[in-house]
Structure 1
Amino acid sequence: MSAIIRLFWILLLACLSPLALAERLRLVSDDWAPYVYQQKGQPRGIDYEVTTQVFKRLGVEVEWQFLPWKRCLAMIEQGLADGIVDIFQIDARRPFLIYPSEPMSDVEFVLFQARSRRHAVTGLNDLAGLSVGTSPGYIYGSAFNDSPRFRREAAPTHEANFGKLMLGRIDLLITDRRVGRYLMRQLGLEQQVEELPLLISRQTQYLGLTRKPGREALAQAFAEELQRFKQEPAYAAINNRYTGDIGNILNAVEQQESSTPR
């Protein structure tokens, strides 16, 4: 799309909200590597870099803060932050959140288990009597979240869940496929932990902006610029830098599935 259209969105933002381009947007998220996380006090991740790049093109400065996910949600609901990165679209959040139409990325929740303590799991019914490590405030789908057949045990961090799994304090853990593979590699657990083939749920994550004057125009401008950026080699380079073959495999699957009606 031409630079004229990009200029149009920037001018529209300036007209609808005089502070939109002058203020610094405060974005919150939790550690959700490799999408968005901190390393030695510095923000990193696929969606961190993509979000920063898109806002830079729009002339909007952003400030990042990393907090536990439940606190991030509370801050957004109370209007104490301007936006939240990598959030699912939930009807209950629409009164206080605006979502750009273009998603940041897709999430696939799967189970991980210790190779030394395998469980035959092909469906949720097979989890009966088992304990599954979760993260506070995360939505894994109603079938998983509401099932009475197994126990859900929350841990403060994703790394803590892997630690509990290795100590035998939980039977399995649930997390996104990319997140689990990334942490297995970072923690040196690739030989001790394995991923189960069962897909619990697939979700799409977005940038969420708190409802204030001018934010709908900002969300639209962000969506347009993000869509353009996804077509550029720089976008693929960011994904490959963090996930390598994992990202290539999952992107190929996503492209194939997007061409098939659901």
Structure 2
Amino acid sequence: MTRLLSALLLTCVTVLAALRPANTAAETWVMGAMEDFAPFNYMDNGTFTGIDVQIMDEAAALIGVTLDHRPVPWKRMLLDFEGGKFDGVFQLTPTTARFEKWHLTGPLRTTRSVYVTRADSPLQDIRSPAELDGLVVGLVAGFTYEESFDSNPAIRREMSQDDFNNIRKLLLGRSDVIVGGHATLAYTARQLNAWDKLRVLPTPLVELGRYAAFPRTAEGAEKARRLQQALDEMHASGRIQEIMRSALNR
């Protein structure tokens, strides 16, 4: 009986393999991403990893796609994307202009952008950008934070190339307060052994999703539709929340 069942199982597998379409080789999408944005995407012993990388890889696997990640500096990533070098990019803050320009898919996750100051600062809270008057605000060049904040000409900006330098400038007194994603700033500050020297203000600037983008073409629209379906499934099952908890609670 056991041999009979084994033979039947082998036959079924063989039949299914024969019925599988010949073009089942996984598609590959070339995806641009910021090269150093821990804990969401970063290099670890030569492997590109992180929360968003894992979310994107698992979503792609659900639709039979393999992602060829191309981690590069943020500004270059956007330029290369517009130049047609990537099939898509992630993780973008949503803006009206980006929704009009590209097919945005998501959110992958939600980010709470916060104000952070030195632990000994007299600042207690910032409830609106109007309260930034007279303060130097540290930001990362090329990043989008929130549309009204980004377009406010009255904000005195101290620009940095990344969150590491943004935090260093804050500690050196070159800025009074910095803005960034809570998880990213906390991770970076701990890498610098500086988290106990900083304080997160109670009121966040904004809480927004982070998106993947594809060109506004028929092919881009189809990729966006398929990825959206996979992301919706992962949100509904709780998988994305599980990935976030597992990574941030280490």
What band does the TM-score fall into relative to the shorter chain?
0.7 to 0.9
Determine if the alignment matches structure 1 residue 136 to structure 2 residue 137.
Answer: no
Q: Deviations over 1:206-228 (max 9, x none)?
A: 11112344332222221112222
Aligned residues: CA RMSD: 2.5
Q: Deviations over 1:79-118 (max 9, x none)?
A: 2211111113333334652123x41111221111111333
Partner of 2:159: 154
Find 1:126's aligned residue among 118, 128, 131: 131
The code of the aligned residue for 2:120 comes to S
Alpha carbons of 1:233 and 1:93: their partners in 2 closer, same or farther (altered >3 Å)?
closer
Determine if the alignment matches structure 1 residue 24 to structure 2 residue 40.
Answer: no
Q: In the aligned structure 2, how far is the partner of 1:57 from the partner of 1:183?
A: 32
SS state at 1:33 partner: coil
Query: Could you tell me whether the CA contact under 8 Å between 1:121 and 1:127 is conserved in 2?
Result: no
Alpha carbons of 1:47 and 1:126: their partners in 2 closer, same or farther (altered >3 Å)?
same
Deviation, 1:35, is 2.1
Partner of 2:113: 109
Of stretches 145-154 and 231-240 in structure 1, the one that deviates more from structure 2 is 231-240
Find 2:65's aligned residue among 60, 81, 94: 60
The code of the aligned residue for 1:166 comes to L
Q: In the aligned structure 2, how far is the partner of 1:147 from the partner of 1:232?
A: 39
Summarize the alignment of residues 212-227 of structure 1 with structure 2, pairs less than 5 Å apart. Answer: 212-227=217-232
SS state at 1:32 partner: coil
Determine if the alignment matches structure 1 residue 172 to structure 2 residue 177.
Answer: yes
Partner of 2:4: none
Q: In the aligned structure 1, how far is the partner of 2:155 from the partner of 2:220?
A: 41
Q: In the aligned structure 2, how far is the partner of 1:213 from the partner of 1:233?
A: 30
Residue segments in structure 1 that go unaligned for 5+ positions in a row: 1-13, 246-262
Q: In the aligned structure 2, how far is the partner of 1:233 from the partner of 1:140?
A: 27
Determine if the alignment matches structure 1 residue 238 to structure 2 residue 243.
Answer: yes
The code of the aligned residue for 1:235 comes to I
SS state at 1:199 partner: coil
TM-score, normalised to structure 2's length?
0.80
Q: In the aligned structure 2, how far is the partner of 1:112 from the partner of 1:227?
A: 32
Summarize the alignment of residues 43-58 of structure 1 with structure 2, pairs less than 5 Å apart. Answer: 43-58=48-63
The code of the aligned residue for 1:116 comes to D
The code of the aligned residue for 1:221 comes to R
Summarize the alignment of residues 184-199 of structure 1 with structure 2, pairs less than 5 Å apart. Answer: 184-199=189-204
Summarize the alignment of residues 66-105 of structure 1 with structure 2, pairs less than 5 Å apart. Answer: 66-94=71-99, 96-100=101-105, 102-105=106-109
TM-score, normalised to structure 1's length?
0.77
Alpha carbons of 1:165 and 1:228: their partners in 2 closer, same or farther (altered >3 Å)?
same
Find 1:208's aligned residue among 213, 221, 225: 213
Alpha carbons of 1:212 and 1:150: their partners in 2 closer, same or farther (altered >3 Å)?
closer
Residue segments in structure 2 that go unaligned for 5+ positions in a row: 1-20
Q: In the aligned structure 1, how far is the partner of 2:126 from the partner of 2:96?
A: 30
The code of the aligned residue for 2:39 comes to P
